[in-house]
Amino acid sequence: MNLSNNKGAVLIAVYMALFVLVTLSSSVALFNFTELNDARRHQDTTAAFWLAEAGINQFLADPEILNETGSKMINEENGMIEILKDDSNRKYRLVTSTGTTGGSRRSIQIKYPALSTIFESTMSTKGSVFIEGRKSSLMINDKLRLGGNVINTATYPLTFFEDVQEGVNDALVSITYPDADGNGTPDEFSDFIAFYRNLIASYPEDEVVYIQGNDTYTITPDESLEGKKIIYIEGRREGEGNAIIQFTGALEKGQSLTVIATGTVTHNQAGLAQKDSQLNIIAWSDYFETAALPSIHNGMIYTHGSAYFDEMHDTSVTNGSVVANEGIIIREVWSTKTFNYADMRKRGVVPPGFEGLVGGGVSGYTKNPSSWREI
């Protein structure tokens, strides 16, 4: 009896050992299978990513490959590439490249901001240019584009226009704000407010000065504004929230600063700007400029109203572009006021505050993309 019982116990022990061995073998096999699948998935997703990157590089090398259909399929040895172009948003072009291999998909998207003729002229207005001072000495180099006419009633005018075109379509010589408040009507004061509230919210807080008030605020650009990109003055009603800029040329090297106001902006020049700095100006109401000393200003100027250049007592030069929707008025210029065209875009990117303001009709897209991201 005892011997028989011992044999039974040994048999049970052997079965238990076999069960443990089989379980361990199965676990090892499953682990190895999982590891193999993970490695294969990693290999496939990596290959899909590089296929997507290859598609982007093909488009960069030859943008015309999407001219006819807007899409292209490319078969590769280890997968497939699909390249798509989307121009549905007038503000930018999107190009998406998707790589597929072994069931894995990766997509890369690049964005090209739209170019606009509004940024390609020295001065633009859908109104007229009025020259009406007692002495008005004016020189506009490169393109002057206006919907109205040049009306010269100055007593002692001295004017030079290198390339002037009158009667240009309004859409090509003005800027219109999108329907940012969503009420169905674009280019209203409420659109201006909503547009810039949304825009400054996209900037880091330390790059923006946001002033809410109906007063007139004096701004003297100097080292205290280092690192700032936008100063936005917001009044409660149209014509309130004004800015006076006392410009002495003291902007940080390479700085691009934009002053935006819901009212008027008065720009008093008395200094020479550094060549690589920009002072850009946006006014919902009118823009006024004076010059007390020899002055050089670099930047983009836009007013939804009219632009007035008056009491220019010494030589003043503006390098950039001026867009005044309602008209340009030249009054007393006792020395010479010169406007030179300069493209204020850097690598195709517009100055702060002008993002999304296409205006002037789309004439294409920037040569280089402004962003790259995996989606």
Residue indicated by tokens 């900037």: 203
pTM above 0.95, yes or no: no
Rounded to whole angstroms, how far apart are CA atoms 176 and 367?
A: 24
CA-based torsion, 179, 184, 188, 189: positive or negative: negative
pLDDT in the model for residue 316 = 96
3.30.1300, 3.30.70, 3.90.660, 3.40.50: which CATH number matches 2-115+369-374? 3.30.1300
Amino acid at 302: Y
Q: DSSP class of residue 27?
A: H
CA distances to 67, 69, 104, 154, 372 from 64, in Å: 5, 10, 28, 51, 20
**What are the pLDDT digits (tens) for 9-63?**
666 766 676 766 666 666 655 555 566 666 678 889 999 999 999 999 999 999 8
Taking the domains of the chain in order of start, what are their residue ranges?
2-115+369-374, 116-365
DSSP state of 349: B
Between 351 and 24, the more confident residue is 351
Q: Is the pLDDT at 161 greater than 80, yes or no? A: yes
The reported pLDDT for the residue numbered 359 is 64
pLDDT value of position 347:
73
* Residue 3: per-residue pLDDT: 47
Asked whether 137 and 154 are in contact (CB, 8 A), the reply is no
pLDDT of residue 126: 94
Please tell me the distance from the alpha carbon of residue 99 to that of residue 107, in angstroms, as a whole number: 6
Higher pLDDT, 15 or 317: 317
State the CB neighbour count (10 A cutoff) for residue 49: 18
Report the alpha-carbon distance of residue 211 to residue 185 in Å, rounded: 26
Q: What is the mean pLDDT of the chain?
A: 89
For the beta carbon of residue 215, count every other beta carbon within 10 angstroms. 11
